Amino acid sequence: MTDLKSRIKHFHISFFSIILGLTGFTIALEKVLDLIKFEQFDSSIIVTVSLFFTLSVFIIISILYLAKIVMFPDEVKKEFADPIKINFFPAFSISLLLLSVAFLSFNIAASYYLWIAGTVLHSIFTLKVISTWMHGKQFEIKHLNPAWLIPAVGNIIVPVAGIQHANIEILWAFFAIGLIFWLILLVVFFNRIIFYNPLPQKLLPTLFILIAPPAVGSIAITKLSGELTDLSRILYYFAVFILALLLFQIKLFSKIKFYLSWWAYTFPISTMAIASVLMFHNTNLDVFKYFSYGLLAALVLILSVLFVKTIKAVTKKDLCIAE
């Protein structure tokens, strides 16, 4: 087998987590820069470059994974049967939903078609993944990790872009599904992490995924209600607490060697920045504005490190190898 074929064979579905991070950053960049008034510079240029760079990376990753589906369908089936990797398949449909949000300010038609495709695919993935959870014999408590929240997060994201594309009752339905399953999985996860063995080092960065459901939920409920509600506040402040809890353990994260799972840091922090901008718009309290500035600055630093480490790992052939 040639080196290229071998790399395609071991090209993980989790590569789509990169798109979640890049798209989340693009949306956060647009929202935060909108708060900063540039007199001699059009900040939309930066956002546009970020969006089309993200779109390019999404197309490349999609082509590579499509090549894997065509060339190694059995390997794809193995990934879908894997207790951990199965939860990353909805990352593809979430990528479409996030691109739909990102395109709202650029092309409403493109946003609509991306939303339709993302919503339909995510509905299928949600039903399939949960059905597999219910009837699969391969699952054990040790397999449970924050990546299991990904299908739930996607349902909560549907209303964020869909508010301009669909009937509000459809959007409430998706929000309800995502919120309830998030609560169920959150309880099960804390039971697992408190009473059973700790997460393996490779999966520790996925703890940041715990931030995403309440942060996105706060955004979604505000969009659906048209105002900042009590539930919006509850979800937002719970997300802030989870972020503080994880930062309190920063020494633990600083000792983790590089894995592709490091990309799990990016999307949740992006959602926190976006939610903070929305809180500022609805409360006019400067603390939320400056908090969003700090989160965006942290994102720029994290992404810079991730790009360097990911490119090094690719050139050294540390990624896309047999496990």
- Domains of the chain, residue spans: 3-315
State the pLDDT at residue 133.
87
Q: What is the pLDDT of residue 138?
A: 77
Banded pLDDT at 323 (limits 50, 70, 90) = low
Where residue 40 falls among pLDDT bands split at 50, 70, 90? Answer: low
| pLDDT at residue 136 tops 80 | no
Q: Decide if pLDDT at 137 tops 80.
A: no
Residues with Cβ within 8 Å of 237's Cβ and at least 6 positions away in sequence, in order, are none
Q: Of 160, 92, 95, 97, which Cα lies nearest the Cα of 128?
A: 92
Residue 11 DSSP class = -
Maximum C-alpha span of the chain: 61
* Contact of 29 with 50, CB cutoff 8 Å: yes
* Beta-carbon-side half-sphere exposure of residue 90 (alpha carbons within 13 Å): 26
Confidence band of 211 (pLDDT split at 50, 70, 90):
very high
Taking domain 3-315, whether its CATH number is 1.10.3470.10 is answered by no
Joined together, the tokens standing for residue 194 give 């408190």
pTM of the model: 0.93
